[in-house]
Amino acid sequence: MRVIIKRLVFFLMLLVLWEVIVLIGIWPESMIPSPYAVYQSLYSGFADMTLVYDLLASFRHLLIGLVISIAIGTGLGLLLATVKTVDETLGTMILALQSVPSIVWVPLAIIWFGFGETSIIFVVVIGGTFVMTMNMRTGVKNVDPMYLEAARTMGSNGADLFRRVIFPAAIPHAVTGVRLAWAFSWRALMAAELMSSGPGLGYTLSYASDFNNMSLVIGIIIIIGVIGSVVDQLVFHRVEEKILTRWGMMSEVS
């Protein structure tokens, strides 16, 4: 509860500082609109359902891309962790590709798939796949050898060893991979939608920027940040915390 109060006070102070900057006139309002102007733009956008449709479209793109990236990343991670030659070849390439910003893939996606939803989903998949792959690989490779030896002593080998020991032991890393895949995919989604033909939050952000509607631009940036933070803290962070606690990798907070 104390943390929530601290955060509320902090953001209230930011809001007051923002309003003071606008009143002083350090920058023209065409560059930094007032908090009330941003509120009006957002209210208008939700009232006429524009932002509602944008949110639904963005979440649809994200859900499809994230599910695909998690599936591909899990498979690739298991492959890299179990086949040394693949890890030494394909693994090196995936590690390099992981450092490439998602927006770099947007021109390629447009050339291959045009300006439609397929391009957006492709960029989202690219954004989440590599980080999921490397976390899954790390999870399988870092299984405690003591567990493996104990399982083999009791007659567990092959698929049974993988099902009973290796995969369960890798779950904490897999959950962290899913959390990071969500964050990377969300950023990739916004980058892809900026270049799309709509609908979506990124498209509306680009449209508002073209017409110098800074209040809507800032409003959409706030929406993107709030959604990213809320989903991470209320969903993925809590799930990750529970998994780590259950697996004995984090002490339970009373």
User: Please, what are the domains in the chain?
Assistant: 38-246 (1.10.3720.10)
pLDDT mean across residues, the chain: 87
pLDDT digits (tens, 9 = 90+) for 187-245: 999 989 988 877 889 999 999 998 889 999 999 999 999 999 889 888 888 888 888 77
Residue 30 has pLDDT above 80, yes or no: no
pTM assigned to the model? 0.85
Instruction: Return the structure tokens found at 9.
Output: 């006070």
Q: Give percent above pLDDT 90 in the chain.
A: 51
pLDDT digits (tens, 9 = 90+) for 80-114: 988 889 999 999 999 899 888 888 999 999 999 98
Residue 56 has pLDDT above 50, yes or no: yes
pLDDT digits (tens, 9 = 90+) for 148-157: 777 777 777 7
Q: Check residue 28 and give its pLDDT.
A: 79
Counting Cβ atoms within 10 Å, is residue 248 exposed (0-12), middle (13-18) or buried (19+)?
exposed
